[in-house]
Amino acid sequence: MSDLPPFHSAVIDAIMSHAGRATLPFQRAHRAEQHATAFWFNELVEETAEGAVVRQYLVTAGERTRYDMAEFTLRPELGVPATGAEKLAMTGFAEGWIHLGDLGVAVMPDTPLYAYAARKGWSWTTDEVTDGVAATEEDIAALDRTPVPAYLLGHVDDDVNGPRGQAVVVGEVVRTDEDGVRWLGTLPRGCVGAPVFIGAGLGGNSFKLVCVGVALPGEGPHPIATFDRVRAALLAVAPERRALAPDVAVTATAAAVPEPGSVEPKRRWWRRRG
């Protein structure tokens, strides 16, 4: 990370602090294809005197959800006690997702994954993209036609980061008049569906972390489904459908129970735009 300018380093630190445990890599089970990244998002339902009421979803690119059986790769730090399975298989996968109109985005209520953890005696310890970080209409409008630095948090499928290692991919985004916001640069295999962030300047050396949206497949520059549109599309889904537990089954497919004290600290990976 020493070769990154201070601004890049500060934004990456903010991303890892806020969302380092928000992402999950997945692929079509038993096949080396359809590699993608999903991430946790908290929809703000209401704010009360006791605090915020949120509804949690996995979010990804809808095009990567249209098959029956998927395999998720877990990291030990996503559960307490540390998760005892390296991989989870999910059947009925396609039926478990709610597709948000024509955005190219799909969401899954958290019910089946939380129920699986409860059955196995552990609890999820995730980060989430929260309402305060997810881009608003104002955040998207503030993007002009000049490319700005951007950061994709995904799980790359290659020989560098190991088996679906997490990476912060440094690139740029730009807003166009014709087709919204685009990711400029390489989108590594496995990073479709990942969240894309910027550090929106506040003057001086200050910035706020903004999750612009979801990286979608397509010909480069790659489209991004922005969070202002994701929010609006999610609100248009009937409340009973949004809260519905999908008819999926989750099972462990490989066990790797760590010995006490043997869990490695979370590795961080940085990658420049290709």
**Contact of 215 with 196, CB cutoff 8 Å:** yes
Q: Considering only residues 155 and 5, tell me which one the structure prediction assigns the higher pLDDT.
A: 155
Q: Please give the Cα distance from 105 to 127 (Å, whole number).
A: 20
102 vs 99, 207, 225, CA distance in Å?
A: 8, 32, 10
Q: Is the pLDDT of residue 123 over 50?
A: yes
Q: Is the pLDDT of residue 264 over 50?
A: no
Structure tokens at 193: 């569906």
Buried b (16+ CB within 10 A) or exposed e, 9-23: ebbbebbbebbbbbb
Per-residue pLDDT, averaged over 145-166, amounts to 82
Q: Considering only residues 184 and 85, tell me which one the structure prediction assigns the higher pLDDT.
A: 184
Cis peptide before 81 (omega within 30 of 0): yes
Q: How many CB atoms lie within 10 A of CB 224?
A: 26
Read off the pTM.
0.85
Average pLDDT score over the chain: 82
Q: Considering only residues 33 and 257, tell me which one the structure prediction assigns the higher pLDDT.
A: 33
Q: Please give the Cα distance from 59 to 56 (Å, whole number).
A: 10
Residue 145 one-letter amino acid: R
